Amino acid sequence: MTTVRLPPEVEQKLRSLSALKGKTKSELIKEALEKLFASEETSSDSFELGKEYFGKHGSGQTTRSTEYKRILKDKLSAKHHSH
């Protein structure tokens, strides 16, 4: 069992919502926590969502971010010398 102390204004809002919905305060709190937990389980942080596109994680080249100028220069040079 868990006990939670709420600020008076939150307690009043909970009491009002309880009366409006015809549910106990405990039922409303349980529903709110279930929604919070479901939301947390489905959300990923920014890194997890895009890690396959970041630096070595996406390209496999660990020096790509520090040698991009040389890589670009080599590609442009190869393009112009192939004609």
CA distance 76 to 69: 11
- Give helix then strand counts, H and E, for the chain: 5, 0
Structure confidence at residue 22 as a pLDDT band (50, 70, 90): very high
Which residues lie closer than 8 Å to 80 by C-beta, 6 or more apart?
none
Q: Is 82 left (phi over 0), alpha (psi -120 to 50) or beta?
A: alpha
pLDDT at 81 over 90: no
Of 67 and 6, the structure prediction assigns the larger pLDDT to: 6
* Mean of per-residue pLDDT scores for the chain: 85
pTM: 0.52
**31-71 pLDDT, tens digit each:** 999 999 888 877 677 777 777 776 654 566 777 778 888 88
